[in-house]
Amino acid sequence: MGEKEKLILIGNGMAGVRTIEHLLKLAPDKYEITIIGEEPHPNYNRIMLSSVLAGGANMQDIIVNDWDWYKDNGIQLVTGQKVTKLDTKLCTVTTHTGAQYQYDRVILATGSNPFMLPIPGADKEGVIAFRDIRDCETMMETSKTYKKAAVIGGGLLGLEAARGLLHLGMEATVIHINDYLMERQLDEPAARMLQRELESQGMKFLLNKQSASITGRGRVKALQFADGSELKTDLIVMAVGIRPNTELAKSSGIEVNRGVVVNDYMETSVANVYAVGECAEHRGIAYGLVAPLYEQGAVLAKRLAGVETAGYAGSVTSTKLKVSGVDVFSAGNFTETASTKALRIQDDLGGTYKKIVIENGKLVGAVLFGDTTDGTELFSLIKKGENVEGREKELLLGISLDQLGGGNPLAKYEAMPDDEIVCGCNGVSKATIVEAIQTKDCNSVASIKACTKASGSCGGCKPIVEGLLKVYAGDAAAEPVKEGICGCTTLTRDEIVAEIQRMRLLTVKEVMNVLGWNEPEGCSKCRPSLNYYIGMLFPEEYVDEKESRITNERFHANIQKDGTFSVVPRVYGGVTTPSDLKKIAEVAEKFEVPMVKFTGGQRLDLLGVKKEDLPKIWEELDMPSGHAYGKTLRTVKTCVGSTFCRFGTQDSISMGIRMEKAFERLNTPAKVKLAVSGCPRNCAEATIKDLGVVAIDGGWEIHIAGNGGVKVRATDLLCVVKTEDEVMEWSSAFLQLYREHAVWNERTSQWIERVGLDFIKKALENKEDRLALKQRIEKTLSLTNDPWKEIIENKELRKNFEQLTGLEPATK
């Protein structure tokens, strides 16, 4: 085989990476592939950002292709780098750092930029877009200090942003220039119904308002409108649209109109340069929905692979989505004109609305609100362009089974065209799902999700996937296989733990082999969980598999958005000494740490540490790790208590330090935060922690399962005890119970909602049971050591660390 061609993808987003996925299936050995992305993350599902903001998902949940996927497919991934120059004559790509890459073919997948209103004050602090993970992080951080938010734009993106801000505890007001919401996806009656529903959820609206300027000295204080009125606000999110990112193409001499101009094969005006996704303009249209972008990617992949293809002819689009828990659907041209006839049915009591638009005997548009069951079938009829005269009322009242297949409830799934997009979030067609069922033995929703990603995001397409299973899997799908902890297995957490314990399985690989994993190497969801479960069950025998841990835990530091790391030494109970402060300051100066910040957990955070400096910094600090990166005990926050405070009833400082020294390095299913308050005034915020202790006259209250994060949850009172020893007994028992029964990555606040407070109280009410749990947690803790001390002092661990990270720790 000859030398591989060099293919560079500029942009690590959904459309570009989907193109590469197709290409790898068609011609896995044809190209040496390099992907360059501006963000410091692997490819993630931008559609799911609203779920991250609303607390329904975290960054790990929305990653489409994790770091291992690039490595496994031989792809060089360059993150945190912006391509600033594309030389189409020398065939080189240059990033903002000066790094240069040679190509034979290059794909522009630069996406789009959020449109920011060019009004006075738009550059102030607190004015952002809603486009990427960084915007989500800004909103989350802002919500901790400020309470009033304004979202400019009443389209889908704006409403999702507003819903997320409500979840963060902020007041959210949506400003829209039109007189009703989502005018591109809904007609006025449906939009009014949506507005009423969102208002009942706490959202506020200012319609027919034109934003004129933003006031405030450094930070935004108010949004002023053209009519002279204003809205006081602490945060402004602009969600008024997107524009194709054509900057690089334009500077490279490539033809640009609204987007990068491409032909039916996604070829630009320059040879060997292609464009795909939101940055591309095809036949005068730049698409913003994911399904057309995936269709473009499929065509481009075939072109690059040398496979014959008909070319991309454009897309008829539909929108099926969930806005703050409400299902909406629209397709085609639903605006009424002189040449169209509209039929509608509206149920204000049931909260449903349906409208279809007919032109020249054909269905040309539809809007559904509340019940979107018929959306797929209506969209299919719109795309087919078939005559529906005489059947209009049937379409309005519900898709006729006779029309779709003679009374067979599954006939509508057979009637779907092969190219019908079933999963809009991931661009998965009916043909792809049917192929998975027929050729890859996928006989459950879970296995189809693992194989094709269909139903893997919002889940709205799950009923259709189930219908296709019944049609094309036949008897094999009569009893659907239950979903497991991930797509690699059908086993649940409890089944896996029981089998590990029964057969004494002591390695991740052994568990996967013995329990029949579908993927022999597992995935980023199951590997860390198995690693935890084995260590929890057999702490004395198990050797921790660092390669099965998440990235932060492998580096023993928090990776930041620019690729640097955050180092947090342990400060017990928030109490330090002048010598330790001096040591931290000297290390920060020596290694030119950009920022030293006090954390919310009463510690010092060294931010911006270079990866190669991590071992040397920890060696010179010579302090225990604060484990700010792991699924373990993070902090024990304390107030000064009776030591200094005139209101203090107990010594909260010594109690907090005792707890932190007892539980440091404890591996847990998810991160755990503790706090000890010296009186019911609760200055340490113990009632929003995983475990909180509040001093009262003559004793202590023990509170459990709180959360001060995105989804705030106040603690439940577990018990009241008299002595510090009893605090340790109940705390140890509670934490071990959580360790033994929670699902991997399940916070205590989620765990208690699943198992109930009564389960926890009953499990801990007997002293013998509490002491048994306490004994098990103490055994586990006796076997743990500070990770950096081990790495620095142990040759074998140094070697393992070097293999995992590409670094060699400093040695004394």
Give the per-residue pLDDT at 406.
47
Fold category of 127-240 in CATH: FAD/NAD(P)-binding domain (3.50.50)
Cβ count near 143 (within 10 Å): 21
Task: List, in sequence order, every beta strand (DSSP E) within 134-259.
Answer: 148-152, 171-176, 204-207, 211-215, 222-225, 230-232, 235-238, 242-244
Over pLDDT 70: what percentage of the chain?
91
* The token pair that represents 554 in the structure block: 């492998």
Could you report the average pLDDT of every consecutive run of 10 residues in the chain (812 residues)? 88 95 94 95 84 70 86 94 96 96 97 94 95 89 93 92 89 95 91 91 94 95 96 96 95 96 97 97 90 90 94 82 75 88 88 92 91 82 86 76 52 75 77 86 79 73 82 67 73 91 91 88 85 92 76 73 82 91 93 90 89 85 85 92 89 94 92 94 93 94 88 90 96 96 91 92 95 94 76 62 55 40
> pLDDT for 154-168, tens place per residue?
998 899 899 889 888
Task: List, in sequence order, every beta strand (DSSP E) within 115-248.
Answer: 127-129, 148-152, 171-176, 204-207, 211-215, 222-225, 230-232, 235-238, 242-244
Task: State the binding site.
Answer: 639, 645, 679, 683
Is the CB of residue 378 less than 8 Å from the CB of residue 331? yes
Task: State the binding site for [4Fe-4S] cluster.
Answer: 639, 645, 679, 683
Domain limits of the chain?
A: 5-112+244-305, 127-240, 318-399, 493-549, 631-785
Name every residue whose Cβ is closer than 8 Å to that of residue 254 and which is 6 or more positions away in sequence: 88, 108, 260, 261, 268, 269, 270, 273
Fold category of 5-112+244-305 in CATH: FAD/NAD(P)-binding domain (3.50.50)
The CATH-assigned architecture of domain 318-399 is 2-Layer Sandwich (3.30)
Cβ count near 591 (within 10 Å): 17
> pLDDT for 377-404, tens place per residue?
788 888 888 888 888 888 888 754 344 4
- The answer to whether 5-112+244-305 and 631-785 have equal CATH topology is no
Region 631-785: CATH code? 3.30.413.10
- The predicted model scores a pTM of 0.60
Nearest to 696 by CA among 658, 640, 646, 648: 648
Task: State the binding site for siroheme.
Answer: 683
Is the CB of residue 557 less than 8 Å from the CB of residue 550? no
